[in-house]
Structure 1
Amino acid sequence: MVKMPSLLEALEQKYGESSTESEGSEEEEGISIAIFVPQKPPRMIVPSLLVLNDCDIASAGDHQALVDKCAGVEELDLAKNKLQRWPEVFGILKQMPRLKFVNLSFNKLSSSIHEVELSQDYQWQNLRNLVMNSTHVPWENVQRILDHLPSLEELHLSLNEYDHVNLCSSTCQCVLENGSEDDGAKGDATVKCTCPRLDYKNKHKHAGIKKVHFNGNPISRWSEICKIGYAFPSLESLVVADCPIQSLDIENEESNAVNNPDYMRTESECESGNKAESPHDSFRKLKFLNLNSTNISTWDDIERLSRFPVLHCLRVQGCRLWESHEYTEHERRQLLIARLPNVETLNGGGNIEPDEREDAERAFIRYYMDKPESDRPERYFELVAIHGKLDPLVNVDLRPEKRVKVTFTCGNNSEVRSVDVYRTVSDLKTKLEGFAGFSAPNMRLFYVDQELRDRQGPEEMRYPHKQLYSYNIRSGDEIIIDYKLKNKREK
């Protein structure tokens, strides 16, 4: 069996054993410590930003040696290693008290955390950003860890196979239907919860967290997403892209629970009768929301987003609502802007200017004014109260007439003919060979605009592949046919 390296061994391999253990003697052969770390102790050789991705690290190594070398580390990236046991993770983090950023993504950290492994008194006071994507860390572990991070502002929990958000108490004994203990990430398995009634709306333990990334988790119910808001009441930014969220309609979720005999409550509901009163009840401070690539499929859900108290930046691309291709990209943007008076930035674009918003709202009114009143959303009547009832737009066809009547003149002969304006000059010459009495290669054409005849004179139609409509030809204009004199140098 191949022995996995410790963090200490990975450090020595990357930065060199001599550079981490030397006392900095200038007389020692082959050592040039003064070039890299002049007048600094050897432990400062390890940079404040320490990246050890994909190094097969499975353990911490000697703790005292880590203290000597890593006490100054502020950002630590250990993604894609072989860490599995939380004591080893804590053994690493405890030696780096100045940490501000930690990335543990793609390490298999699904084992439970026991109280003996993490003293309640230990705190990482400086840690602001924690990334645990695709670690399958159980919700219970997340709550335990957050209790030791009083300054945390940003949390990444993407790709962890969460199908619910577990805010149960630590005494909860949630059990899967097959009898095995739930580890917090069991996909679609149904759960029987035996914990006492818990009002998770008032369980505000992590008020410092402002950003949560929750991409790619198989959660389909918005009521579960709402629990993230209750857990983090200061939340300003939430990313739930690539989650199969069906709707923001919590009331229908509740009715489904009553009327659908196949509906099973998830673990995190905990027999609590206190449901969110609205989709935005727990998101009082949310400013940015990313709903890209979700299963939202109705305009009603878009209108629910308009009621989020301070939401002003929204991403909602790749949703089922757009799969019908009923709208052009421009129409889709207009309908979104008109329905979302609170949103200032949409799908990563610049700020929505007042002129664009007014145009969108007027287009929205005209879009629904010809539809039955029962099909008009509430927003339609709100906008009519602002802009009034609008006259329908005149349908002006700006395309050129397909055929026009033009006078053709060749010498003393004149004839009025109907001409297809999408024909090219070369095609027209070929058609005029019989009338002119000579071949197209020997023909020159001159266009005469009936209104500019006296001021401008004839314009030679010298480009064979140019279509006639590009000359703005109209009925009543004239085309003069002339014989092309051969170049005198031609033999």
Structure 2
Amino acid sequence: MATASNPMPIPAKTTQSELSQSVESALEDLEMKYTSPPDDIEPGIMFLSSSPPKGACVKKLRTIILSHHDVSELGDMNMVAQTLKNARDLDLSHNQLADWSEVVGLLRVLPKLNSLSLSFNPLNSEIGTKFNDFQHDLERLELNGVVLSEEALNTILKAFPRLKVLQHCLVPIEHHINPSVSSCNLESEKENNSSSAHPLRDLTLQHCQVSSWEKVLKFASKFENLQFLDLSNNQIIQIQPVDDRLQKLKILCLKACPLYGWESFEALADFPVLEDLRVTDVPFLDEFNCDLKNNLLIPRIPNLKLLNGSEITPHYREGCERSFIRFYQTHDVKPKIYNRLVALHGNVEQLVFVDFTPKDTVTTKLRCPETNRRYTVKHKLHITVSQFLAAISKATDIPMNLLKVLHVTPQYPTRPPDELRASNLFFDTLKVEDDDEFHVFTKIVAPKRARTTSKSGI
């Protein structure tokens, strides 16, 4: 390790540029990040504390993050073991680690480490003998952006027999799958996989350029205990019915996969314990509105309890299944699940469609007994009463100050007429319905009395 107390030996031919690069070790970055004093303290300010020094606090940290630090080596392993002895989660992603020997050396001195991220490091695709006779109880490993050969991946899985979570995204995995396996050799392949099955529980393969569902099954079949599988942003178009592989799968994520046809989703019913499905941003499903999509998808997978993070209650499932029956009652070709749902719920009746959309226009009758005129008027409801009266005044040539309009409801003969008065209220507040009538009259204005003045004689 390159520290003040134990300087890193520098070869005689080391240039100044090489010297500046040789200090990029994990320990040095750890010291700079967690023990260096802050450089933004104003002069004259002093902090007094009874807490232990920063260097002592580092040794108690359980989560260490050293991502984006250009780390190319880890430094003195004895110092690593001493400094990170309590670490359980270590993030070394987005660095410059290339040699797997550094990784093995790190894990040897940190036997209690639970989680390790090596994502986006230029690690060699071949491991060779570096993991020979080595095992570790690591439970979570992130290798996103790290290209590995099939042999290297198998070596890693053997080195971590208790690994539960593996992330291996943004790398092609086609070379991990043997395309030449024929159907006659499938049973022997299953026996080999089951005899050496890995206890992996969660597998994430986002952006891995996978286009075949069968290849997914072949790759994932080595993990017979798999419960979570994330295949987001792959090119899977169709899902075929499965056999006895992935029988423990509970959560499946197919976000942004170009799946097409209901047959693919019906095939998911073959997973006996699948209860959580995530299929957002799937173009085929996005053609339907939310309610119709749920009504057509949920009944096809009987064990489903969560769809895109939303709980499917028994009451909601029953409603979806009844809507499913109604939807396909008039179709000649019915899905496989249709008869089972009819046996469960019966032939439900079609619902009567009632349109509760608020009206924006109304058709009324305008009568002017004085001129014996009648009009049928279709007008908007969002106009004001004053605007409506002004239009009547113009149509009947009755001045506004002499206009009297009564709102009559023939369908409710016992309701007395209402006189309309100019206001800024919108017309829909009058609760006007189709076929209502407006009777127009001229107000009778009493003539003004002539002013008489008495003249008294002088």
Give the shorter-chain TM-score range.
Answer: 0.7 to 0.9
Number of the residue aligned with 1:137: 148
Q: CA offsets per residue over residues 26-81 of structure 1, 9 Å max, x none?
A: xxxx998962359xx94853621100010000112111111121121111001100
Match of 1:294 among 242, 251, 257: 257
CA distance in 1, matches of 2:372, 2:115: 86
Deviations 1:98-129 (A, max 9, x none): 111111111122431122x2241x3322x221
* Post-superposition offset of 1:330: 1.9
Could you list the per-position Cα deviations for residues 271-303 of structure 1 after superposition, in whole angstroms to 9, with x for gaps in the alignment? xxxxxxx42521111111001111210100111
1:200 alignment partner in structure 2 = 189
Residue 140 of structure 1, CA deviation: 2.0
Distance 2:104 2:372 in 1: 97
Shift of 1:158: 1.1
The answer on whether the counterparts of 2:150 and 2:175 sit within 8 Å (CA) in structure 1 is no
Aligned position for 2:51: 35
Aligned to 2:174: 163
Query: Please, what is the CA RMSD of the aligned residues?
Result: 3.5
Pick closer, same or farther for the CA change 1:281–1:402 going to 2, 3 Å. same
Q: What is residue 128 of structure 1 aligned with on the other side?
A: 139
Asked if residue 47 in structure 1 is aligned to residue 10 in structure 2, the reply is: no
Alpha-carbon distance in structure 2 between the residues aligned to 1:86 and 1:299: 45
1:97–1:34 CA distance, 2 compared to 1 (3 A): farther
Per-residue CA distance 1:230-271 (angstroms, 9 max, x = gap): 21111111110111012112xxxxxxxxxxxxxxxxxxxxxx
Aligned AA for 2:279?
V
Structure 1 counterpart of 2:117 = 103
Distance 1:340 1:333 in 2: 11
**Aligned letter for 1:379?**
I
Residues 203-222 of structure 1: matches in 2 within 5 Å?
A: 203-204=193-194, 205-222=196-213
Q: Which residue does 1:354 correspond to in 2?
A: 314
Contact 1:110 1:138 in 2 (8 A): no
The aligned runs of 1:192-341 (5 Å cut-off) are 199-202=188-191, 203-204=193-194, 205-249=196-240, 278-279=241-242, 281-322=244-285, 325=287, 327-341=288-302
Tell me how far apart the structure 2 counterparts of residues 131 and 441 of structure 1 sit (CA, whole Å). Answer: 83
2:376 aligned with 1:418, yes or no? yes
Give the structure-2-normalised TM-score: 0.78
**Structure 1 partner of 2:305:** 344
Please give the alpha-carbon distance, in whole angstroms, between the structure 2 residues aligned to 1:105 and 1:459: 78
Which residue of structure 2 lines up, in the alignment, with residue 11 of structure 1? 30
- Following superposition, the deviation at residue 395 of structure 1 comes to 4.2
Cα-to-partner distance string for 1:140-191 (whole Å, 9 max, x where unaligned): 222212212232211111111222534x7xxxxxxxxxxxxxxxxxxxxxx8
Inter-partner Cα distance in structure 1 for 2:437 and 2:139: 75
Residues paired across the two proteins, number:
409
For the residue of structure 2 that corresponds to 1:386, the secondary structure is: helix
Q: Which residue in the other structure is 1:376 paired with? A: 334
Report the counterpart of residue 10 of structure 2 in structure 1.
Answer: none
Distance in 1 (CA, whole Å) between partners of 2:409 and 2:277 is: 53
Q: Secondary structure at the residue paired with 2:320?
A: helix
Determine the structure 1 residue equivalent to 2:343.
385
Deviations 1:199-244 (A, max 9, x none): 3323233442111111111111111111243211111111101110
C-alpha change, 1:396 and 1:15, in structure 2 (3 Å) is closer
How much does 1:443 deviate?
Answer: 6.6
Tell me how far apart the structure 1 counterparts of residues 302 and 125 of structure 2 sit (CA, whole Å): 46
Distance (whole Å) between structure 1 residues aligned to residue 261 and residue 409 of structure 2: 54
The two structures have a TM-score, normalised by structure 1, of 0.73
Alignment of 1:166-185 (within 5 A): 166=177
What does the per-residue CA deviation read over 1:367-413, in whole Å, with 9 as the maximum and x for residues that have no partner? Answer: 222222xx322222222222333333334455659553334569x67
SS at match of 1:98: coil
Q: Distance in 2 between matches of 1:143 and 1:441?
A: 94
Equivalent position amino acid for 2:157 in 1: L
Query: Alpha-carbon deviation of 1:457?
Result: 6.1
Q: Which of the two has higher C-alpha Rg?
A: 2
Indicate the larger mover: 152-161 or 76-85: 152-161
CA–CA distance in 2 between the matches of 1:8 and 1:390?
A: 70
The offset of 1:135, in angstroms, is 1.2
Question: Are the structure 2 counterparts of residues 49 and 454 from structure 1 closer, same or farther at C-alpha, using a change threshold of 3 Å?
Answer: same
Distance 1:102 1:360 in 2: 43
Q: Does 1:365 align with 2:325?
A: yes
- State how 1:183-194 maps to structure 2 within 5 Å: none
Residue ranges of structure 1 left out of the alignment (5+ in a row): 19-29, 169-190, 250-277, 486-491
Q: Which moved more, 1:340-349 or 1:433-442?
A: 433-442
Classify 1:446/1:390 alpha carbon distance in 2 versus 1 (closer, same or farther; 3 Å). Answer: same
Task: State the one-letter code of the partner of 2:231.
Answer: V
Tell me how far apart the structure 2 counterparts of residues 146 and 154 of structure 1 sit (CA, whole Å).
11
Find the counterpart in structure 1 of residue 363 from structure 2.
404
Sort the Cα spacing of 1:192 and 1:394 in 2 relative to 1 into closer, same or farther, 3 A: closer
Aligned in 2, Cα 1:391/1:67: closer, same or farther, shift over 3 Å?
A: closer
Contact 1:37 1:44 (8 Å CA) reproduced: no
Measure the CA separation in 2 of the matches of 1:212 and 1:248. 18
For residues 306 and 442 of structure 2, the distance between their equivalents in structure 1, rounded to whole angstroms, comes to 61
Query: Corresponding residue for 1:394?
Result: 352
Structure 2 residue matching 1:147: 3-state secondary structure:
helix
Amino acid at match of 2:190: K
Deviations 1:298-321 (A, max 9, x none): 100111112210001101122242
Cα 1:415–1:100 change in 2 (3 A) is farther
Contact 1:436 1:481 in 2 (8 A): no
Question: Secondary structure of the residue that 1:382 maps to in structure 2?
Answer: helix
* Cα distance in 2, alignment partners of residues 470 and 92 from structure 1: 80
Deviation at 1:465, TM superposition (A): 7.5
